[in-house]
């Protein structure tokens, strides 16, 4: 039996998700098409406990707010996903590791 390996400082998984997962059916955050990140908290609303779904519910960091909910920096996304920064990250303390793969249905 091999142990699961996490790729960073992740927060608790979303409700109903008990372990790192291998499909977007097991982790509903992989199906979220938009993410809003506000590193400087200019909105006064940013928290890594937020959904990040819109500008009224931004996360504070990529590593905990997005990748932490994904439980990986390499999710397999089944839709185009847009990440919007509402403020600048002014240092290198929250790097974005973009190793996702996107599987879109094709009409071929």
If we measure between CA atoms, which residue out of 22, 104, 31, 25 comes closest to residue 71?
22
pLDDT at 105: 57
- What letter does residue 67 receive in the DSSP assignment? H
**Whole-angstrom Cα distance, residue 97 to residue 10?**
13
Q: Sorting pLDDT into bands at 50, 70 and 90, what band is 47?
A: very high
> What are residue 102's DSSP bridge partners?
77
Mean pLDDT, rounded, for 89-100: 79
Beta strands in 1-108 (DSSP E): 34-37, 76-77, 82-85, 101-102
**Whole-angstrom Cα distance, residue 31 to residue 5?**
22
- The residue among 54 and 26 whose pLDDT is bigger is 54
**Whole-angstrom Cα distance, residue 104 to residue 94?**
28
**Mean pLDDT estimate for the chain:** 78
Where in the chain are the domains? 34-73+81-88
């Amino acid at each position: 039996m091999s142990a699961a390996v996490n790729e960073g400082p992740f927060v608790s998984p979303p409700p109903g998700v008990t372990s790192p997962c291998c499909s977007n059916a097991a982790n509903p955050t992989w199906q979220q098409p938009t993410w809003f990140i506000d590193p400087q908290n200019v909105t006064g609303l940013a928290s890594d406990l937020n959904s990040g779904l819109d500008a009224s519910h931004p996360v504070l960091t990529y590593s905990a707010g997005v990748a932490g909910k994904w439980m990986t920096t390499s999710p397999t996304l089944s839709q185009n996903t847009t990440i919007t920064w509402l403020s600048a990250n002014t240092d290198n303390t929250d790097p974005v590791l973009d190793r996702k793969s996107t599987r879109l249905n094709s009409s071929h």
